[in-house]
Amino acid sequence: MKRPARPLAAVLVSTAVCALAVGGCSAPGGLGAGEPAPPVSAQPQPESLWPQWTDHSVSGPGKPVGTREPPPQPLKNAPEVGPGGLPAVNVQDVVRADKQMKAFAAKGWIDAPGKVGLRPAVFRDLTGDGSQELIVAADAETGRTALTVYTAEGTRIVPVLFTVGRRLAVETIGGDLLLRTAADDGSEQAVRYHWDGERMRVVSDERRYSKSLPGCESDRPPQPRRTDKYGQVCE
């Protein structure tokens, strides 16, 4: 005589009880009481298969070498840097030796905005090595300004940044250089440069717009915050 088949639910309950009896009570993570945790293995790190085809620079990891900018080259025919560093060299001689700036050398020095020529030279430590870099800006007839940063490599002078902007204002933030320029659409562009061991490289680039809302007057002197008929805050 055959035994009656056991209900499926009873079979499942019996199986679960047997599993608990064998494994005992376990923690939510799967470890039993007093059982040591397995060692944590180190995560694998990327490894290039063709290192010569990879650019490890700050601005573009993974870019082909063919698209990478060549390293800055020392100026030919520039004065040598002596014990006094860049502050001791003749700045006009440095400008004459630079193909991108030499056109301004004949314009001479200027002491106020609105004129054409070289602004007074400025020296700041932008590379963090304790030595000062030379910053030269020249205003052109077009209203644009060319700016170059020079650093010293031994006795040689190397340009590590060249840029041109309209109504250029320059600031330093620690060892970084912040350049503000005005665009034709009324916006202001703020570009921040940081030394990457080879050149001054862009680390942030922001464009800001300043436009009046309907019903707001933009030519008035600064006033307390107020709202227009639309409930918007006038700038």
Mean pLDDT highest for which of 35-44, 101-110, 195-204?
195-204
Q: Which of 65, 62, 94, 68 is nearest to 79 (CA)?
A: 94
pLDDT of residue 180 exceeding 70, the answer is yes
- Tokens standing for residue 6: 């056991």
DSSP state of 67: G
Tell me, what's the pLDDT at 106? 87
pLDDT recorded at residue 53: 56
- In this structure, the chain runs to a length of 235
pLDDT digits (tens, 9 = 90+) for 212-221: 444 444 444 4
Greatest CA span in the chain, whole angstroms?
119
Q: List C-alpha distances in Å: 7 to 11, 14, 74.
A: 7, 11, 89
Q: How far is CA 13 from CA 4, 6, 8, 9, 25, in A?
A: 18, 11, 9, 6, 17
User: Considering the entire predicted model, what is its pTM?
Assistant: 0.62
Query: What's the chain's average pLDDT?
Result: 75
Q: How many percent of the chain have pLDDT more than 70?
A: 60
Report the distance separating Cα 122 and Cα 218, nearest Å: 35
CA distance 207 to 186: 10
Q: For 69-88, how does the pLDDT look when each residue is reduced to its tens digit (9 = 90+)?
A: 789 999 999 999 999 999 99
